[in-house]
Amino acid sequence: MIIPAIDLIEGEVVRLYQGDYQQKTAYRMSPLEALNRYADDGAQWLHIVDLTGAKDTTKRQLSLIKQMTATNRMKFQAGGGVRTQYDVEQLLQSGVDRVVIGSLAVKQPEKVKSWLKRYGSEQIVLALDINIDEQNRKWLAVNGWEKNSGIHLESLLNSYLDAGIKHVLCTDISRDGTLSGSNIELYTQLSRQYPSIEWQASGGIGSLQDIEALKPAKVAGVILGKALLEGNFAVKEAIECWQNASSLA
């Protein structure tokens, strides 16, 4: 499935380069314009990252998110600085279908597991950001990629399997915002190692060829951000490419 992404700072559609707030590109398109364009092209889900709320939870852009979900044009998963059960409930009450949880899933896994039990595996997405070293060890990053947690991806995933985790968005930080292609080897390995998880690949997609190349990795979703905003291709083209690749796989 193709999942377009919108990153929001103070109501603007933006993109950060490798998570760096100092390397921000703002786009003239409003969030609702982007949403409607993607929906017109056939997108069934939208991934929303509230970067303002991630920095300051008191400034979470809930009213904007409510406006977006109220269109009922697709389903929504949203995150950005989710730290408490209240944050989860606020997003769900705003019409979001799935809440995306990042750093907290690494730093306080028992709390997040309790939310999985409370709300169900369909309403929680883990967003796991990794740096891969020369030994192919996958280190989880936290705090907007500013800090290495010292925890391996596999050890964390193993602890979540018993809690019933189903949806995981995984980003290779070195690829994010680069349009240099996805880490196909990473997602192929993870899909084989954890077949019960529906993986969402994120970071690096710059062309339709990059989307096609991901199909053998058997991911459930492909997150598209910068490539769409830069006009490299349209959502409709991405969906057609993914469906054609699926029929050939």
**What residue segments make up the domains of the chain, in order of their start?**
2-248
Mean pLDDT (whole number) for 149-174 = 93
DSSP 23-86: EEEEESS-HHHHHHHHHHTT--EEEEEEHHHHH-GGG--HHHHHHHHTT-SSEEEEESS--SHH
Q: Mark whether 41 is an active-site residue.
A: no
User: pLDDT over 90 for what percent of the chain?
Assistant: 79
Residue 118 pLDDT exceeds 70: yes
Helices and strands, counts by H and E, the chain: 11, 12
| Segment 62-106, tens digit of pLDDT | 999 999 999 999 999 999 989 999 999 999 999 999 999 999 999
Contact 172, 178 (CB under 8 A): no
Structure pTM? 0.93
Residue 127 pLDDT exceeds 60: yes
> What is the reported pLDDT for 23?
80
Q: Mark whether 56 is an active-site residue.
A: no
From CA 199, how far away is CA 66, in angstroms rounded? 26
Mean pLDDT (whole number) for 37-45 = 98
**Domain spanning 2-248: CATH superfamily:** Aldolase class I (3.20.20.70)
Reference 141, options 156, 127, 131, 155; nearest CA is 131
Q: At what angle do helices 85-93 and 109-119 cross, to 10 degrees?
A: 40
From CA 243, how far away is CA 249, in angstroms rounded? 10
Residue 52 pLDDT exceeds 80: yes
Count how many residues are written for the chain: 249
Residue in 7, 50, 172, 176 annotated catalytic: 7
- In which region does residue 167 sit, left (phi positive, over 0), alpha (psi from -120 to 50) or beta (all else)? beta
Residue in 129, 172, 176, 210 annotated catalytic: 129
From CA 15, how far away is CA 46, in angstroms rounded? 15
